[in-house]
Structure 1
């Protein structure tokens, strides 16, 4: 297997960001071998003390995202601390800007000044909304980005607060990708510059299937939204859930045979029968526990999996697979 944990050795990254997107980006870069210097304002990254807290009084996700970094506390409103950052910039390769658009410039760190100090510097910003968007300069969190990207209304039913910070996480991944692309471009041109990413852009990428259909004037495709019996969640006898994703006919056939209902095989895509088919499968799956069903489906390779709790998911496989490279 190709080892990537040292490919960014010798690359120095300055992080001026908080919460999830910027720290996730730099956590990935650190895993690839970069040296990351995290600049915290007095009082620290607010994520440190956001409940729930561990025994050390810090949020476990903060610890996870920042475990391989160096820390500097700087009040960039103070001239002496601004001078420290300028010195750090001279020898850095990347600056992650997780502040509001224009905030760094107001603090005395315009792109022009930064690039005069270090012409090879990559300035990668992670904002709420992209340039040109009417909410560009407004405060924006993950829930706002998901709402504005249509994610919360792409499924069936009433919009609900999501359980996963997808806009935060994916914008961090996009920023990390931007850094890698920027480093490649710099190796060809020898010059740095600013690269922009945003949470809303990331959220729109996640919702691309629905948005592209909307732009084409078509209804949102309900194939993967739980309207097909072969692709949805089912409750088990112990009030747990199975994820059945038997989208291909051969997987669907294995599911039906495991349920001893071969008569259902030809009905997979019969639109007029989906509600009846869903009810039939729901009644069947309610007859056994999650453990009992998985004893049946695990050997079959039929795209059926248990719906795990976060605790179960955290221990599903070796712990070292997290961010494994």
Structure 2
């Protein structure tokens, strides 16, 4: 058994991480750090865990844990690591955007590896420090990666994706308030979303001659969780060739699967799956990608990366059923 510590324990991603690790056969949760909730029962905040754990939040850390998960707001991970020292053998998985780009990947001598298992599995297995991908970035990269791997992106890529309210975190704002979000739909950060940096970085690493743009329109949906993304770009092959290309690329992937049928969110919510569907129309290839933003887009993928780092079965603790009905 390994010991895990969680920093920033009161948020949605930490709640999902605790839920997964409580049922992981190789992990004990050593501590869950939260300065605002220190001394309180974890289940008092994450109420789905009533009866599952009697642990309390703490404002102290164990510097010798085997793995540390950082579930802090963007920009706070580096500050926390500067103020707290951990053992050289402690593996760190950061769920913020702080270390995802190559120029930001080295921090205080720690080199963070980008944690998208379908593309960087061998690097993850050797890494001590992981930068967990963003939720939109995960869905979009998994839609595009097979084309980039085969050097087939010759034109701009247009992406439209909608996320549930949990993507905005637990802090209340006008656009997360129930009376605003319910029966409503809107876009935000058109063409400039922060996940574009990591998306373009991965495409460029897979296809070095890539010189086009990803035009990304993120949307807010009136549901709690999930991401439904559609991307389209020019593709000269047939429908059957596209299906074969994507199926071959993901044939050994533990959680990413190609479906011959159109997708919907209920197939992936509450799972660590990414489902992909391809549809050819004229000279355009439409790729649909669906994930749970809190699991494959955050905490589930973080545990998947931890499993790879420690040599556990990649699927350990992540055999979760979709809330289909």
More contact order relative to length (CA 8 Å, sep ≥ 6): 2
Richer in helix (by share): 1
* Interval containing the TM-score (normalised by the shorter chain): 0.3 to 0.5
TM value normalised by structure 2: 0.35
Structure (1 or 2) with the larger CA radius of gyration? 1
TM value normalised by structure 1: 0.35
